[in-house]
């Protein structure tokens, strides 16, 4: 007999004092701690206040019957072993009791050996049940630790990849600008080409500024407290300003950009810089990945206590294999990379986090070589920035 069984707490619930005391005298010398109760209510009180391993329950008692008492006991502690004491064991009774959760029967009259045999067997069952659960918890914890380890390893890989990516993206424009300046300083190019070289330098400097802005925005969004104070604003005003800022790019690529903005749209509460970042990223992507002569459509509409916004293009689209990861940090689809357009893959990740932090939703539809449509909503009763 194991020590865990020897130290077990046993409860005898029977309205006959002789049965209660007889069981106590038989079990106490075996090292068990024996408690007794004259009815179901008293037995339930003991179970709620004392750790009980096994209960011997008379089937016929005033008040709660032994069969009903099993269910009540297991509601409180499902692993208590319940053994029915009965003077008339029948097949029907056995089936009912087992269905209710009884482990075994002890038929009156019974000997001390009968009692000890069934009690020891029941306690061994409890010991095995608890040990199985303990091992399951250990396995679950080991699985959790394994998954956490794998997650941390993936995070480390992502950090290394991020450092490499950012190092390359930060170095490339600086190296280009440095080369252009060397050409000018050492007078390797004629004066009539100076403007062209300066314009190239300016373009690379703007790439650098845009990259740094994305990184700063990404960092702020990852902080527990986001910088900025929510304001009640008209987001269509922000949209119009963003469209104006992209006039040069759309003209250079001969893109047709249209905006459908109803009058008298209700305001939303959001951080102004963040909604500007949403519009800027979505419109910038549409311009980048739409071929010259293409079309971009932007719109806002009120529907179901929210504003529904969209940015559509007829550009290169998103491949099926990239759709699940399109909002992931630092991810860019292969067809986007093939255009050799600079980017860190942070834009859509930033947009998604801003929209979700604002209580909205974002999704998209896309077909390769036919274009993409990005949709997002903002609640009109928005209270969380």
> What are the pLDDT digits (tens) for 148-189?
888 888 777 767 776 776 776 677 778 888 988 998 898 888
Residues 255 and 204 in one domain: no
Q: Tell me if 211 is assigned to some domain.
A: yes
The percentage of the chain sitting over the pLDDT mark of 70, rounded to a whole number, equals: 91
Question: What is residue 228's predicted lDDT score, i.e. its pLDDT?
Answer: 67
Q: Please say whether the beta carbons of 43 and 74 come within 8 A.
A: no
User: Do residue 259 and residue 358 come from a single domain?
Assistant: yes
Half-sphere exposure of 360 (CA within 13 A, CB side): 27
Average pLDDT over residues 257-283: 92
Residue 144 makes CB contacts below 8 A (sequence gap 6+) with none
The pLDDT of residue 159 is 72
Q: Who contacts 94 (Cβ-Cβ below 8 Å, separation ≥6)?
A: 105
List the single range of 18-22, 56-60, 139-143, 214-218 with lowest mean pLDDT: 214-218
- Rounded to 5 degrees, φ, ψ at 28 are -60, -45
Domain stops at, among 222, 245, 260: 222
CA dihedral angle for residue 166, residue 172, residue 177, residue 182, rounded to 10 degrees: 130
The model's pTM: 0.51
Q: Do the Cβ atoms of 72 and 37 come closer than 8 Å? A: no
Residue pLDDT, tens place only, 1-10: 444 455 799 9
**Tell me, what CATH number does 278's domain have?**
3.30.565.10
Residues 165, 167: Cα–Cα separation, whole Å: 5
* Cα 67 from chain centre: 43
Any domain includes 266: yes
**pLDDT for 112-126, tens place per residue?**
999 999 999 999 999
**pLDDT-based confidence at 53, cuts 50/70/90?**
very high
Element (H, E) at 282: helix 272-288
- Give the model's confidence band at 345: pLDDT under 50 very low, under 70 low, under 90 confident, else very high: confident
Please check whether residue 119 lies inside any domain of the structure: no
212 plus 99 within the same structural domain = no
Q: Tell me what percent of the residues of the chain surpass a pLDDT of 90.
A: 53
Average pLDDT over residues 231-237: 92
What are the start-end ranges of the E strands in the chain? 9-13, 33-37, 54-58, 81-86, 104-107, 231-233, 256-260, 268-270, 295-303, 306-313, 362-367, 371-379
Please tell me the predicted confidence (pLDDT) of residue 5: 53
C-alpha atoms less than 13 angstroms from C-alpha of 105 in its C-beta half-sphere = 18
Same domain, 271 and 352: yes
Task: Determine the pLDDT at residue 257.
Answer: 94
Q: Is pLDDT larger for residue 308 or for residue 180?
A: 308
CB–CB of 239/259 below 8 Å? yes
Residue 135 in domain: no
Q: Which domain holds residue 260?
A: 231-379
**Across 102-111, 126-135, 256-265, 342-351, least confident range:** 342-351
Decide which of 193, 222, 251 is a domain's last residue: 222
CA atoms of 6 and 9, how far apart (whole Å): 9
129 within domain boundaries: no
Task: Compute, in degrees rounded to 10, the torsion defined by CA atoms 163, 169, 175, 181.
Answer: -140
Q: What pLDDT does 383 receive?
A: 41
| 158 and 105 fall within a common domain | no
* pLDDT of the residue at 223: 57
Rounded distance between C-alpha atoms, residue 181 and residue 248, angstroms: 25
Burial class (CB in 10 A: 0-12, 13-18, 19+), 265: middle
Measured CA to CA, the distance from residue 373 to residue 385 in angstroms comes to 25
Q: Of 110, 130, 154, which residue sits at a domain end?
A: 110
Q: Do 235 and 211 fall into the same domain?
A: no
pLDDT given at position 141? 92
Q: Which CATH number does the domain housing residue 51 bear?
A: 3.40.50.2300
Quick check: is 385 in a domain? no
Q: Which string of b and e fits 41-66 if b means at least 16 CB within 10 Å?
A: eebbebbeeeebbbbbbbbebeebeb
CA distance 111 to 20: 14
**pLDDT at residue 227 tops 70:** no
Q: Do 282 and 264 fall into the same domain? A: yes
Using DSSP, state whether 245 is helix, strand or coil.
Answer: helix
Calculate mean pLDDT across residues 14-33.
92
Q: Is 273 in the same domain as 363?
A: yes
Least confident of 19-23, 43-47, 176-180: 176-180
Same domain, residue pair 208 and 181? yes
Total structural domains within the chain: 3
């Amino acid at each position: 007999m194991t020590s865990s069984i020897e130290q077990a707490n046993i409860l005898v619930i029977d309205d006959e004092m002789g049965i209660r005391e007889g069981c106590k005298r038989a079990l106490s010398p075996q090292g068990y701690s024996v408690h007794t109760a004259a009815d179901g209510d008293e037995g339930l009180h003991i179970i709620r206040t004392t750790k009980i391993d096994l209960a011997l329950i008379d089937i016929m008692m005033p008040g709660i019957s032994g069969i009903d008492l099993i269910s009540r006991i297991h509601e409180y502690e499902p692993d208590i072993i319940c053994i029915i004491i009965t003077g008339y064991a029948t097949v029907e009774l056995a089936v009912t009791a087992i269905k209710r959760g009884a482990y075994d029967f002890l038929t009156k009259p019974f000997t001390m050996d009968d009692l000890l045999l069934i009690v020891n067997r029941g306690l061994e069952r409890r010991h095995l049940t608890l040990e199985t659960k303990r091992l399951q918890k250990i396995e679950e914890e080991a699985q959790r630790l394994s998954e956490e380890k794998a997650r941390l390893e993936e995070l480390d890989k992502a950090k290394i990849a991020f450092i490499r990516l950012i190092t390359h993206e930060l170095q490339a424009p600086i190296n280009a600008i440095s080369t252009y300046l060397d050409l000018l300083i050492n007078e390797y190019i004629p004066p009539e080409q100076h403007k062209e070289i300066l314009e190239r330098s300016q373009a690379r400097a703007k790439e650098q500024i845009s990259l740094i802005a994305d990184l700063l925005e990404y960092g702020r969004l990852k902080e527990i407290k986001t910088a900025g104070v929510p304001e009640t604003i008209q987001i269509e005003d922000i949209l119009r300003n963003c469209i104006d800022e992209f006039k040069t790019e759309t003209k250079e690529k001969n893109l047709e950009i249209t905006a459908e903005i109803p009058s008298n749209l209700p305001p939303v509460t959001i951080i102004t810089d963040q909604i500007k970042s949403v519009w800027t990223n979505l419109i910038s992507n549409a311009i980048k990945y739409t071929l010259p002569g293409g079309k971009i459509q932007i719109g806002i509409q009120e529907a179901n206590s929210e504003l529904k916004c969209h940015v559509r293009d007829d550009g290169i689209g998103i491949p099926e294999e990239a759709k699940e990861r399109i909002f992931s940090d630092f991810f860019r689809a292969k067809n986007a990379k093939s255009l050799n357009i600079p980017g860190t893959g942070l834009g859509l990740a930033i947009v998604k986090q801003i929209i979700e932090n604002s209580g909205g939703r974002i999704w998209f539809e896309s077909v390769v070589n036919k274009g993409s449509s990005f949709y997002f909503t903002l609640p009109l009763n928005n209270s969380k920035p």
